[in-house]
């Protein structure tokens, strides 16, 4: 069997830990694969790049998940719900698109106790892929986004949605999650500080799905003495599912998780 090639596409992509995680697991599970990163500026070029690089599979990160959704020939149920794809596998000349973000996120919040209500900051691809899974799992989900435009599909799906202008920050939510890209490459907060301070004070815990740095949102939550978590566990669990697709279910999830986790140490 010849070496199988994989990559992550994104912009930015330099921060991604996916190459480290997957290469470590390929090596230790003795799978003949190699995983790189590709800075993709124009999402329209995703399919051509995937083919010309000779890839067997890929992960897709911000801001190309919706473009990846459009590029695939076949889609799993989570990708269809989210209209966003974060994992692509090539089989028999067709691109199969999956979304592992929702399931990865759900598992990553199991460490927080007594969470019933969740406020998601942001209405992008990841908010799409997580919100319905969360609701199907019994959580009450509210969406708060900077602009109105992206809220339409959430409203159509029956979610309570707000922009900064019409949001009542005296409301209580058990868990506040930053699912915006604010703080990824800059030092901006995901919402105005007066709104954030109040909802964080009223919350039980705060999570940022950005990983590898302490974002202004997490710094604020820590300064208000809240339990916090970054996006490392979500990265890990969505990565387990992606690795499972890349290797065509050759390994069990616990051994994949063990190797991906060791890559962080
Ligand atoms: P999208 O580009 O699809 O959506 C971005 C969202 O962030 C939009 O709602 C946008 O609001 C909002 N936003 C962007 N900048 C700001 C800002 N300065 N202030 C307030 N809101 C802002 O991104 P994704 O959903 O794909 O990804 C979001 C983040 O999640 C990224 O940082 C990504 O790295 C991270 N991520 C982490 C994962 C993990 O495994 N840990 C997995 C997936 C994603 P508007 O609609 O107004 O433009």
List, for residues 219-252, the tens digit of each pLDDT value: 999 999 999 999 999 999 999 999 999 999 999 9
**pTM of structure:** 0.92
Order of strands across the sheet with 4-10? 33-39, 4-10, 57-60, 87-91, 94-98, 74-75
CA distance 204 to 219: 16
Q: Quick one: which H or E segment has residue 26?
A: helix 18-28
pLDDT band at 82 (very low <50, low <70, confident <90, very high): confident
2: helix, strand or coil: coil
Start-to-end C-alpha separation, the chain: 31
Pair 96, 89: CB distance under 8 Å: yes
Does residue 208 have a pLDDT over 70?
yes
Q: Given a cut of 90, is residue 145 above it in pLDDT? A: yes
Residue that has been written with the tokens 């705060």 in this structure: 206
Query: How crowded is residue 132: how many other Cβ atoms within 10 Å of its Cβ?
Result: 18
As for ligand 1, residues whose beta carbon falls within 6 Å of it are 61-63, 65, 101, 122-127, 145-147, 150, 179-182, 184, 188, 190, 209-211, 231, 234-235, 238
Residue 255 half-sphere exposure, CB side, CA atoms within 13 Å?
A: 13
Question: What is the mean pLDDT of the segment spanning 135-157?
Answer: 96
Q: Calculate how far, in angstroms, residue 159's C-alpha sits from the geometric centre of ligand 1.
A: 18
DSSP 157: T
Please give the pLDDT value at position 221.
Answer: 98
Tell me the best of 65, 119, 180, 233 to mutate to test the pocket of ligand 1, counting ligand atoms within 8 Å of each CB and taking the most: 180
> Is residue 111 annotated as part of the catalytic site, yes or no?
no
Q: How many residues does the chain have?
A: 265
Test site for ligand 1: of 20, 68, 181, 229, most ligand atoms within 8 A of the Cβ: 181
Backbone φ and ψ of 189, nearest 5°? -85, 155
CB neighbour class for 134 (10 Å; exposed up to 12, middle 13-18, buried from 19) = buried
- CA 148–ligand 1 middle distance (angstroms): 15
């Amino acid at each position: 069997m010849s070496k199988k090639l994989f990559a992550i596409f994104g912009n930015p992509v330099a921060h991604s830990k996916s190459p480290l995680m997957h290469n470590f697991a390929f090596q230790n599970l003795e799978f003949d694969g190699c995983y790189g990163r590709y800075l993709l500026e124009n999402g329209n070029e995703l399919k051509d790049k995937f083919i010309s690089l000779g890839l067997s599979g890929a992960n897709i990160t911000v801001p190309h998940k919706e473009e990846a959704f459009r590029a695939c020939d076949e889609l799993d149920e989570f990708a269809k719900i989210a209209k966003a794809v974060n994992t692509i596998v090539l089989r028999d000349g067709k691109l199969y698109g999956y979304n592992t973000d929702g399931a990865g996120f759900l598992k990553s919040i199991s460490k927080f106790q007594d969470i019933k209500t969740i406020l998601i900051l942001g209405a992008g691809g990841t908010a799409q892929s997580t919100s319905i899974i969360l609701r199907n799992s019994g959580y009450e989900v509210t969406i708060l986004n900077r602009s109105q435009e992206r809220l339409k599909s959430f409203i159509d799906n029956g979610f309570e949605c707000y922009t900064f202008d019409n949001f009542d920050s005296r409301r209580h939510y058990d868990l506040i999650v930053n699912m915006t890209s604010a703080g990824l490459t800059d030092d901006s907060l995901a919402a105005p500080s007066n709104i954030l301070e109040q909802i964080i004070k009223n919350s039980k815990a705060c999570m940022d799905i950005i990983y590898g740095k302490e974002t202004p949102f997490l710094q604020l939550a820590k300064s208000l003495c809240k339990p916090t978590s970054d996006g490392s566990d979500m990265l890990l669990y969505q990565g387990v599912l992606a690795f499972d697709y890349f290797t065509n279910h050759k390994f069990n999830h616990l051994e994949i998780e063990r190797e991906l986790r060791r890559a962080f140490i």
